[in-house]
Structure 1
Amino acid sequence: MTKKNSLNAIEVQCLRVSLGLNQAQVAQITKATEEDVQAWETGEQLIPEVAQKKLLEIDDIIEMQVLNTCDGIESLFKSEPKRRLSFVVYPTQAIYTQYNPEFISSLPFTELYNTSTWRIKKECKLVLEVDVTLVSFDVDSYKAFREQEGLGESRENRAKWAATQI
């Protein structure tokens, strides 16, 4: 009995693009070669089930982050109405890794975190009618802000810093 591969070539390519990844990054995530990824996207080869599962799993993780974040924002606005927010995005993998060690296993590339923030921005605008600004993380500016305010390192303090950048 053969298993039907559920993603065709164009779906593989669209999934990669929707994740904001290039072919080399998909190859790294799926433990394949760039040539394999190209072949999946042109239909010359079927994407292996394990590779397909890994990419769809990452997409699901991002969607859960979007839903959880938007639910949190919605509940926050019930007690403290706002219409503007800012989210930090990380310019490099090294900075992302340094400041977000808890997400290393679920989102192996900065681009995936940035993809989730982009999706959150769009969801907040459409569903919650909230304007979200994505702020590129600047380590020196953030450290100066923490020193000035007498704050330690935390996700909440990065959010406070980002709010001062818009």
Structure 2
Amino acid sequence: MSKNIGLNAIEMSYLRQSLSLSAAQVGTLTNHSEADVLAWESGEQAAPELAQKKLLDIDDIIEMQVLNTCDGIEELFKKEPKRHLAFVVYPTQATYTQYNPEFLSSLPFTELYNTAAWRIKKECKLVLEVDVSLVALDVEAYKAFREPTKMSESRESRAKWAATQL
């Protein structure tokens, strides 16, 4: 039994924009052309249900990351109160791919990861009253930070480096 999602042209446009994706990127994600995406957003064509579902699923994945991350931050603050955090964001797709291969299936574009980081920042500010700074990963500076202590490459190492950038 098929559930009709039924997003209209404006909703499709705003969903794409809320994910910080270009029409070409949506086309790639949904196996359609950029022209098709623009036609959906102008109301010339109805967006296929599978395309709508794909974008809504990505939005759900981002929201789950936001909730899980904010829950983790809240737990951390119970043990070690802080009021400022730094999150690493990735300036290019190649850098994102190098440091986050585990997310490529669910969030294939840097923009989606960075959208999640932006939403985490807003949620932390509103709900947890915590300031979050988004720090673009500078690969050379990060390597120089790890080198003296022979620190391994990990998400925790990147978080420690980002904290030094505040």
Equivalent residue number for residue 79 of structure 1 = 79
AA paired with 2:14?
C
Cα separation, 2, equivalents of 1:143 and 1:3: 49
Equivalent residue number for residue 34 of structure 1 = 34
Q: Does 1:108 align with 2:108?
A: yes
AA paired with 2:95?
I
| Superposed counterparts of 1:17-166, under 5 Å | 17-166=17-166
Cα separation, 2, equivalents of 1:86 and 1:96: 17
AA paired with 1:48?
P
* TM-score, structure 2 as length reference: 0.97
Determine what percentage of the aligned residue pairs are the same residue: 73
Cα separation, 1, equivalents of 2:94 and 2:106: 16
Q: CA deviation at 1:54?
A: 0.5
AA paired with 1:106?
S
- For the aligned residues, what is the CA RMSD? 1.1
Number of residue-to-residue matches in the alignment: 165
Q: CA deviation at 1:3?
A: 6.9
SS of alignment partner, residue 152 of structure 1: coil
* TM-score, structure 1 as length reference: 0.97
Cα separation, 2, equivalents of 1:149 and 1:165: 18
> 1:39·1:45 contact (CA, 8 Å) conserved in 2?
yes
AA paired with 2:143?
K
> 1:85·1:131 contact (CA, 8 Å) conserved in 2?
yes
AA paired with 1:6?
G
SS of alignment partner, residue 132 of structure 1: strand
AA paired with 1:82?
K
**Structure 1, gaps ≥5 residues long:** none
> 1:5·1:46 contact (CA, 8 Å) conserved in 2?
no
Deviating beyond 4 angstroms after TM superposition, the runs of 4 or more aligned structure 1 residues are 2-5
Q: CA deviation at 1:164?
A: 0.2
